[in-house]
Amino acid sequence: MAASSASAQIAQALVDFSLHRSFPEDAVSSLPIAADSLPAAINALADAKSQLQAEIHAIHEETADDVRAWQENAQSVQDDILRSKALAAEIIKAAEAPAEPGQAVEELEARADFLIRELNYNAQVIEALRGIRGVNRTLDEVERARDERRILDALHLLERSWKELDAVGASRSCRAVRLLDIRAFELKSDVHRVFDHVWNALVQVDVESHRVSIGAGTEQDGPMSLGDAVIGLKAFKEVDQRMDKFWKDISQAILLPRMDIARDRPPGVRVEGTTLELSGSTDKSIHSLFADLEQVFSFLVQRLPPDLVETISSTLLPDTMHKITTVWLDAAVPSSLQELDHFQEVVGAARQFCDRLRALGFTSLGGLQEWTDNVPKVWLSKCREAALDSVRTKLSEGLGAPKRVEKVEKQMVSKAEGQQLVSTVAADSIDDHGWDAWNDEEEAAPEAPAPKETTSKDAAQAPEDEDDGADAWGWGDDGGAEEDSTDAKHGKEEAKEEAKEEAKEETKEEKPPDDEEDPTAAWGWGDDDATGEEEATEKPQTAPVTVATQEPQTRELILKETYSISSLPQPILDLIVAIVEDGAALTKPQYTESPIASQAAGLFGLPTLALAMFRAIAPHYYSPGIGGNMYLYNDSSYLAEQLTDFCSAWKNRDDITPRANTMLRLDNDIKSLQKFANRSYTNELSIQKTVLRDLLGGEQSLLHQADTAASVSAATARVRSLATAWEDILARSVWQQAVGALVDAVATKIIGDVMDLPSIGQEEAYNTAELISSVEELDDLFLPSRLQGKQPSQGEEEVPLTAQFAANWLRLKYLSEVLQSNLRDVRFLWMEGELSLYFTVDEVVDLIHASFEDNPRTREVVREIRGNPAPLGEGSG
């Protein structure tokens, strides 16, 4: 225990000496030092050392800044000392070895300048520090204004702080200036957040509740008013942004629900103090709309500062005006003269609304002002849109149920022409006006030829031919129309021409046809007594002499045909009639004072646009259906016919003004319709002919196909299916021409392929004749009973009239005869038959060379045929 106490005393004595330099007492210093006392002394010294280090570290932490400042000051003092020593050394050196007087003066001046610059720099530093201190104090004031929600004061102080910061004589890269700048922007963001809260308290828009409150802030929100808010908006450059959002919100909350024209009972508008809201319901009249909108704009003018009202007027109001005009006012525009009085009331209300808005200070009325200033054009535009939309809508609804219509055509023809017409024209009904009772006394006083007259009974027909049938039909206007021009000649015109030719060639007939073969017998023509017939037989020159010495005897012949049209022409006709009737009404005195009276001429131009719309889009709607193009041909022809009759009747009306009488000009439109109809017909035939040619091999020869019989069968089936489809659509005369064109296309392809063969073997000739025989079965489409819509008589053999409608039909038949004949038969067909009427000498010679071997007999027949190029007379071949 004593040893332990001695070790502690020794250790403490060592520590006291190390720390305080104090010597121990005698009692301690006389203690013996044993070996085991050293570890305790070392541990005590170590503890003292650690404690001392901790105290030094704490002191260092507490005085770090002072020490650092002291170090800096010490370093500065040290630098000054060094400079002073250097200066003193220089002075001593200069004193020991004085320089020239001039150099000394310069050095002194330089030193003086340096000292002046140092003084100036120190002054600038002091001024900068004062400016920094001022900016910092201003920002402190901004913080206090922000906390007290004094937004305007805060904004003014911020603006002042930026000016003071700009006035600080220090670069922006200076750390102190940069920190102040960052603090200013942070304060601006804080002030903006406070401003946003105050603004939302002043201007409240509840879209779901359809309510708007303006200027209803509380004391807790701060002393800012809407006028002060404008200053804040300008300071933050948010005027356009805030007003754009405000206008969108008020549109969603108030304007759009009120202006929703689809609602049966739109909500009404109510203003109570600082609140605008939707309440209850009102009617859909334009007067109610304008009254409610007037409340809205009056409320905004009363509650918002003028600067914000000006923003609404110049940038945001035109959108609302556009919706008013395009939705409400345009819907109130009538598309005819009906409801014109109501329309004039709407126009008056719109003008009063414009006047009221201008009185409130709104200037940018946009489309509303233009609408009221251009009411006549607006009305005409609505009529135009309604007319075009009506045509488009009717076409989009489809062709509808077909309708049978009748065409009545009156012609002044001679008796011979009439007989031929009766026998060939596929008319549903023919009225000869008693020609069967045309006696000798009537023949002695013939009527003068009269121009052809056409009347219509709810009908139209295939185009009439005044000079050239192809010209009247318009075939030839498009590419490939020359091919169809022969097919397009009307049956009646062909019959008339044939009748004339027969009248000229009566003297060449060896004997008249039997009564059984005369198709006019059933009509009573030629039912003269037997004596008259015998005289005609014996004296064939009588008829030509009569024709040559006196004018042709004519009578009126009435032809009637029926065909099908779709449901589309009648609505279009009704539309055109309604438009021109409105145009005629506008020229009457009772509409003189009406603002839309000046648009009468514009109304008379709308039928042209409607018909142009029909021609432009009709092919799209007609083409998909079976026989659609033929319906388009019929509909267009019917429209042209009906419009022609309407124009004729219009010129004779006495219930319209002379001005209206001359303003209807549809002649060019009627011609365009006729050409359009003809193009539809021609295009359909061209398409079907192309299909038939493709079925028969296309550009390749039919006889080179793998299965020629199947190709021919497909082509004939195609012709029959089209004939059946078109039979209920087209008039009979047009149907026979159209089907005849298809048959002729088949015949032309086969003839061309056969004539192009370099050689024809016996088996090949037989097979080709078989193919032609299958094609000749199409004759049953042109039996007289079918063409005239009658039942064939039992036991009576009918002669097909295919050759009258297919120009190459007899060529095909004679080609089949040639392919099945020997040289003798070919010679007979040329010399005694009618082969020379349908084939040229070169064509027959080529067929002979292709079909027979080159031997003396062949050469003799060829030489004989070449020697007689026209065995039946000059007109043959």
- 661 and 686 belong to one structural domain: no
Write 369-377 long-range contacts (CB < 8 A, 24+).
369/321, 370/325, 371/325, 371/329, 372/347, 375/347, 375/595, 375/596, 376/595, 376/596, 376/598, 376/599, 377/599
Q: Where residue 135 falls among pLDDT bands split at 50, 70, 90? A: confident
Report the predicted TM-score, pTM, of the whole model to 2 decimal places.
0.64
Mean pLDDT confidence for 608-633: 92
- If one compares 712 and 789, the residue with the highest pLDDT of the two is 712
- The per-residue pLDDT for 551 is 46
- The per-residue pLDDT for 622 is 92
Residue 513, in any domain of the structure: yes
- If one compares 93 and 845, the residue with the highest pLDDT of the two is 845
- 691 and 547 belong to one structural domain: no
Q: Of the given ranges (60-64, 425-429, 617-621), which has the lowest mean pLDDT?
A: 425-429
- If one compares 239 and 761, the residue with the highest pLDDT of the two is 761
Most confident of 87-91, 138-142, 661-665: 661-665
- 500 and 617 belong to one structural domain: no
Q: Where residue 297 falls among pLDDT bands split at 50, 70, 90? A: confident
Q: Where residue 256 falls among pLDDT bands split at 50, 70, 90? A: confident
Residue 137, in any domain of the structure: yes
User: Domain end: 562, 596, 631, which one?
Assistant: 562
SS3 of residue 426 by DSSP: coil
Euclidean distance between CA atoms 849 and 852, whole angstroms = 6
DSSP string covering 777-808? GGGGGG-HHHHTT-PPPTTPPPPP-HHHH-TT
Query: 429-488, pLDDT tens digit by residue?
Result: 555 544 443 333 333 333 333 333 333 333 333 333 333 333 333 333 333 333 333 333
Euclidean distance between CA atoms 494 and 473, whole angstroms = 14
Euclidean distance between CA atoms 679 and 671, whole angstroms = 12
Euclidean distance between CA atoms 702 and 713, whole angstroms = 12
Query: Does residue 220 carry a pLDDT above 60?
Result: no
Q: How far is CA 290 from CA 272, 347, 356, 749, in A?
A: 19, 12, 10, 75
- The per-residue pLDDT for 564 is 93
Element spanning 384, H or E: helix 375-396
- If one compares 572 and 59, the residue with the highest pLDDT of the two is 572
- 742 and 791 belong to one structural domain: yes
Residue 119, in any domain of the structure: no
Tokens 């091999």 -> residue: 697
Residue 460, in any domain of the structure: yes
Q: Are 417 and 449 in contact (CB under 8 A)?
A: no
Q: Are 607 and 576 in contact (CB under 8 A)?
A: yes
- 558 and 590 belong to one structural domain: no
Q: Where residue 359 falls among pLDDT bands split at 50, 70, 90? A: confident
Q: Are 138 and 160 in contact (CB under 8 A)?
A: yes
Query: Does residue 795 carry a pLDDT above 70?
Result: no
Query: 530-550, pLDDT tens digit by residue?
Result: 333 333 333 333 233 333 334
- 848 and 806 belong to one structural domain: yes
- 851 and 732 belong to one structural domain: yes
Which residues are paired to 144 by β-bridges?
A: none
Residue 220, in any domain of the structure: no
Residue 38, in any domain of the structure: yes
- 701 and 799 belong to one structural domain: yes
Query: Does residue 876 carry a pLDDT above 60?
Result: no
- The per-residue pLDDT for 115 is 83
- The per-residue pLDDT for 467 is 35
- The per-residue pLDDT for 511 is 34
Euclidean distance between CA atoms 599 and 595, whole angstroms = 9
Tokens 């509409």 -> residue: 591
CATH number, residue 786: 1.10.357.150
Query: Does residue 756 carry a pLDDT above 60?
Result: yes
Percent of the chain with pLDDT over 90: 25
Query: 567-603, pLDDT tens digit by residue?
Result: 999 999 999 999 999 999 888 888 887 878 888 889 9
Mean pLDDT confidence for 735-748: 94
Element spanning 453, H or E: strand 453-457
- The per-residue pLDDT for 478 is 38
Euclidean distance between CA atoms 127 and 169, whole angstroms = 8
Query: 68-111, pLDDT tens digit by residue?
Result: 776 777 787 788 788 878 887 877 876 666 555 667 778 888 88
Query: Residue 286: which residues within 8 A CB-CB, separation 6 or more?
Result: 328, 329, 332, 346, 349, 350
554 — phi, psi (to 5°)?
A: -125, 155
Number of domains in the chain: 5
- 688 and 836 belong to one structural domain: yes
What count of other Cβ atoms lies within 10 Å of the Cβ of residue 794?
5
Q: How far is CA 124 from CA 72, 76, 172, 352, 424, in A?
A: 22, 21, 16, 70, 123
Query: Does residue 5 carry a pLDDT above 60?
Result: yes
Mean pLDDT confidence for 117-126: 78
Show the domain range for 646: 569-667
- The per-residue pLDDT for 80 is 77
Mean pLDDT confidence for 490-495: 40
Most confident of 14-28, 163-177, 827-841: 827-841
User: Domain end: 172, 197, 222, which one?
Assistant: 197
Q: Of the given ranges (27-41, 107-121, 695-709), which has the lowest mean pLDDT?
A: 27-41
- 529 and 581 belong to one structural domain: no
Q: Where residue 419 falls among pLDDT bands split at 50, 70, 90? A: low
Query: 503-523, pLDDT tens digit by residue?
Result: 334 333 333 333 333 333 322
Instruction: Give the distance, in angstroms, between the CA of residue 479 and the centroid of all CA atoms in the same chain.
Output: 30
List the one residue out of 814, 709, 720, 822 whose CA is nearest residue 770.
709
Query: Does residue 808 carry a pLDDT above 90?
Result: yes
Residue 654, in any domain of the structure: yes
Euclidean distance between CA atoms 709 and 701, whole angstroms = 13
- The per-residue pLDDT for 338 is 81
- The per-residue pLDDT for 150 is 67
Euclidean distance between CA atoms 381 and 602, whole angstroms = 9
- If one compares 686 and 196, the residue with the highest pLDDT of the two is 686
Query: Does residue 289 carry a pLDDT above 80?
Result: yes
- The per-residue pLDDT for 498 is 43
- 141 and 31 belong to one structural domain: no
User: Domain end: 532, 562, 592, which one?
Assistant: 562
Q: Of the given ranges (164-168, 245-249, 356-360, 608-612), which has the lowest mean pLDDT?
A: 164-168
Query: Does residue 127 carry a pLDDT above 70?
Result: yes
Residue 636, in any domain of the structure: yes
- The per-residue pLDDT for 425 is 55
What does the mean pLDDT of the chain come to? Answer: 76
- 858 and 730 belong to one structural domain: yes
- If one compares 426 and 722, the residue with the highest pLDDT of the two is 722
Query: Does residue 675 carry a pLDDT above 60?
Result: yes
